[in-house]
Chains A and B, each alone.
Chain A
Amino acid sequence: MEHMGIEPGRIQFSWISSAEATKFVDVVNKVTDAIKELGPNRSFVKPETKVA
């Protein structure tokens, strides 16, 4: 995604076991904060199809 021109940080991966509830909450908070900081994605969106 970043390779084709999406800002870094929009995609994040994590490995969380079903037993790791605290880690899950922690990661979700971190990711949402990071994305909020980036603001809305402006390039890779399709508000309306553009054709003839």
Chain B
Amino acid sequence: MPIVKFEKQNWETGLNKLRRAYRLCGPVEDKGFHYFKDLGEAELPDFGCLNTRLSAKGIVYPQSEDMFEYSLDETLDDHHVMKDVQKDYSPRIVLGIRPCDAKAVKLVKLNFDTADYKDPYWLRAWEATTFVGLACDNPCSACFCTTAGCGPYHEEGLDVLLVDNDDHYMARVLTEKGIRFIETAGWDTTGVDGASLIEERRAAAEAKIVSHVSTDRLRGADTMTLHAAGIWEDISFSCINCGTCTFVCPTCWCFDIQDEVHGKQGKRTRNWDSCMFPIFTVHTTGHNPRGSQLQRVRQRFMHKLKYFVDKYDQGIMCVGCGRCVSQCPVNIDIRRVCELMNDLPAPDACAAQE
């Protein structure tokens, strides 16, 4: 893969050229936190942030999104018939997405792009987007990406990986989309042999990661044993059933579908949902298969660390971004839970044979 180099002083000029062909989006500070936002005229992404408060998943998968519109006016020919909503799927660039968030997009794609069904909203937004990543030289202490199948210089899901190097950026161009990004920006790029430098920097960044998880025994663990294990009361006691962990998580994808009517005009929308909410699974009869806080907390961790592992064979459904760790209001820590699950002794041989 080609590596090119361009001066930082030309960054803004390049972005201005890109604005003519793309919608730009990047991290912007607001009231002390960074969020991915569409960049206004002349607005620059702030690459100084450690990471954004919310993950980048909302770029491809907005928290609320219209699916259909319809009319209930029976004098119209097509009343009560669902119609597609016009959306902007013109090309877009996400600047400064961290490698963890990019890998997460790839994991989420497993859910929305299947052999049987394709989610048109997610896929079209994804196809329209070029992911320009920013390598992570100052990982946070809550990050555990290297043991979660990712890393500060990880390339999966990215079209370009930018490495900040003093007065210039090194860019590892990974895809066709990435080539178009570099060409459109018109930077004065020199092909360089930066592989060894990037490799060095990667090793240095990875060495800074202080948190780890062990996942080696999850795949082989018995689902029913994990599910019935005694660890869950201790893990779930403090949970207050808010959706913070799932909403800040780059890999959580659950959603709800809602109809809303104003006068005779209606819309069908979908909104992020959370397995932490009691009504997530409640039946019309009132029966709730996951009625207790313990059951819901267990579902979240079992989904990420066991069901997903078994279903897709692509590791855990977590990229180690550390957001849920640092933002959980009651400090439930997935690193601790993962260790507990991984360390759970296998059922003894006799029980397994039964």
Contacts and interface: CB of A to CB of B under 8 A. Distances in A.
Contacts of A20: none
Contacts of A48: 262, 265, 267
- Using C-beta atoms within 8 Å of the partner chain, give the interface range for chain A: under 10
A46 B261 CA distance: 11
A11 interface: no
Nearest to B263: A47
A49 B265 contact: no
B64 A47 contact: no
A35 B201 CA distance: 67
Interface in B224-253: none
A46 B262 contact: yes
Pick from A47, A48, A51, A52 the residue with the most CB of B within 10 Å.
A52
A49 B65 contact: no
- Using C-beta atoms within 8 Å of the partner chain, give the interface range for chain B: 10 to 19
B269 interface: yes
Contacts of B291: none
Nearest to B267: A49
B62 interface: yes
Given A46-B262, A47-B262, A52 B65 contact: yes
Interface in B260-312: 260, 262, 265, 267, 269
B66 interface: yes
A52 B64 contact: yes
B18 to A, nearest CB: 22
A51 B62 contact: yes
A52 B262 contact: no
A47 B66 CA distance: 15
Given A48-B267, A49-B64, A52-B66, 14 more contacts: A46-B262, A48-B262, A48-B265, A49-B260, A49-B267, A49-B269, A51-B62, A51-B64, A51-B65, A51-B66, A52-B62, A52-B63, A52-B64, A52-B65
Interface of B: 62-66, 260, 262, 265, 267, 269
14 contacts: A47-B262, A48-B262, A48-B265, A48-B267, A49-B64, A49-B66, A49-B262, A49-B269, A51-B62, A51-B66, A51-B269, A52-B62, A52-B64, A52-B66
